[in-house]
Amino acid sequence: MIGFAETMGNDPLEYKYVAYIDEAGDPGVKKVKPIDKPGSSEWLMVSAVVMAAHREAEVDGWGADLLTAMDSRQMREVHFAKLSPYRKLLACKHVARLPVRCFVVASNKQNMKGWRNPFAEKIPSDNWFYCWMTRLLLERVTHWVEQRSLREYGSVQKVKLVFSERGGLSYEQLNAYYQWLRYKGENQKLALGNIVYETIDMRLLEVHNHSGHEGLKLPDIVASAFFKAADIHDTRGCDPQFALALRNRMARWPDTTSGQFAGYGVKLMPSLGRLVTRTDPQQLTVFRDYGYPRQWWRDGGPQAVFSAAE
């Protein structure tokens, strides 16, 4: 089974993968905790959960299974931040059993406070930092889709991108941002990485309210688990157990049980070395557990052949 999206006046557009995208924290950089009190969250986590298109019809059932596991007749929506620690762990263990791959880009925004990016500000977007974070996420997601589809289908296939409608971002602006980046091609002033544009089509971009959409519960769980692992200001202290419970489904490079997470499935910004003097040691525990300071881009890049996975 494959997926098809309706297009205006054209034949349905085929896709073989779906990526649900959500975030935890907020993208504000004018005032940032702990430098500013009050200020926006110290961390922004942007996450994607990717699956084969034929699994799309199963997502509602996964949500129902999670509510059953939590044994709550009153709970209709799963909002990770509002769950008890016991239920947070149940939610992460639930995701870890699903046939998906998870990605997270984690930015400690202290170094971003008040920072301007003249290049990014040329993009017609009111929220360039969130766009930039999503771009880094899609570098990894589209690379995974490219390599996986080459192995499974012998050619590069499309992925449908499903965003959570949060943070006041205009997704028309997000679309314009990606189109600009593609137009710029290799002249993007980026040291590393690039989106595999063959895997995406902006006609396969959807935006939904998080409430009531079971697919978007998945990246909310992943992003929030990592936020809880690293945050000490908004969630009453770090607790990495939830993010570590996702280990079986965090993406590795290459896609094998012995591949590394750091820089691929788990991307930290800025570098671990730069954060050592700016953060409490407990905030970095989860990233060390996922393999830092070594990371994917630095240790060989994306040229390896991916092996089979379930």
Q: What is the pLDDT of residues 52-69, one digit of tens each?
A: 999 999 999 999 899 888
Distance, CA of 65 to chain centre: 23
pLDDT number for residue 185: 59
Positions in the chain short of pLDDT 70: 1-2, 4, 6-11, 72-76, 114-126, 167-169, 184-193, 297-310
Q: What are phi and psi of 214, to 5 degrees?
A: -65, -35
The two tokens of residue 291 are: 């393999």
For the stretch 250-309, pLDDT in tens is 999 988 888 999 999 999 999 999 999 999 999 999 999 999 999 886 555 544 333 323
How much is the pLDDT for 310? 26
d(CA 59, CA 61): 5
Q: Are 44 and 14 in contact (CB under 8 A)?
A: no
Whether the Cβ atoms of residue 40 and residue 33 lie closer than 8 Å to each other: yes
